[in-house]
Structure 1
Amino acid sequence: MASTSVSRVLPASPQQVWDLIGGFDALPDWLPYIPESTALEGGRVRRLTNPDGDVIVERLIGFNEVERHYTYAILEAPFPVTGYLSTLRVHPVAGRDDAAEVQWSGRFTPDGVSDTEAEGLFAGIYREGLEALDQALSA
């Protein structure tokens, strides 16, 4: 099993960040790679569409409003992995009320690619996503 994790300190309080990203169906609000999300099964499944028209279906596995994190699994996607499980988490920054650290991590089994290639793919997606989140919060 392969894994990767990316984190970034952002210029907003943990609650401000969580208010933007904490909804499982909120990706289009801050992630340009996902312009469309449809909530299914009472909000426990999201059907995402990327700009190329590819469909990604994900299931919410765990959610904690107080600790500000959720975990999800990919059910269907054009990625070369199986068993994908990811967590998006917001941490406070010690001594700062105006900053939060967001950590996006995942583990998965590469399918037809090396661990390094799969880890690089998701590290890039997470990095670009957190960059987009920083821009959305700074706007």
Structure 2
Amino acid sequence: MASTSVSRVLPASPQRVWDLIGGFDALPDWLPYIPESTALEGGRVRRLTNPQGEVIVERLVDFNEAERHYTYAILKAPFPVTGYVSTLRVHAVPGRDDLAEVQWSGRFAPDGVSDDEAVELFAGIYRDGLDALHTTLAG
């Protein structure tokens, strides 16, 4: 198993960040490379489409509103990994009500690529996603 984690401090309160990203079906609200999300199975599964038309299907496996995090598993995706599980978490920044830290982490088994290649793929996705989230919140 390989893993990676990326975090970013954002210019908004933890609750404002969670209100934007905490819905499992909310990726199109802040992530430009996921323009379409369809909730399935009562919202426990999301079917995502990227700009190239590729489909990613993910299942919600844990959700905690009070602690502001959720965990999901990929069921189907064009990525060279298996057993992918990821968590998106919003933390308070001690002493600052106007800032939040978002951590996006994942673990997975590379399939046909090296651990380093798989780690770099997802670290890049997480970095780009958190950059997009920063842009959305700052705008």
| TM-score when normalising by structure 2 | 1.00
Aligned to 2:82: 82
- 2:94 equivalent in structure 1: 94
**Distance of 1:20 and 1:102 partners within structure 2:** 12
Identity %: 84
Structure 1: gaps (5+ residues)? none
Between Structure 1 and Structure 2, how many residues are aligned? 139
Cα displacement (A) at 1:41: 0.0
Structure 1 residue 97, shift from structure 2 partner: 0.2
Query: Using the alignment, how far apart are the partners of 1:74 and 1:8 within structure 2?
Result: 23
Unaligned runs of 5+ in 2: none
Separation (CA, whole Å) in 2 of partners of 1:13 and 1:31: 19
Task: Note the C-alpha offset of 1:24.
Answer: 0.0
* Structure 1: distance between partners of 2:136 and 2:68: 18
Root-mean-square deviation (CA, aligned residues, Å) is 0.2
Q: What is the deviation of 1:3?
A: 0.1
1:17 corresponds to:
17
Partner residue of 2:106? 106
> Is the partner of 1:132 in helix, strand or coil?
helix
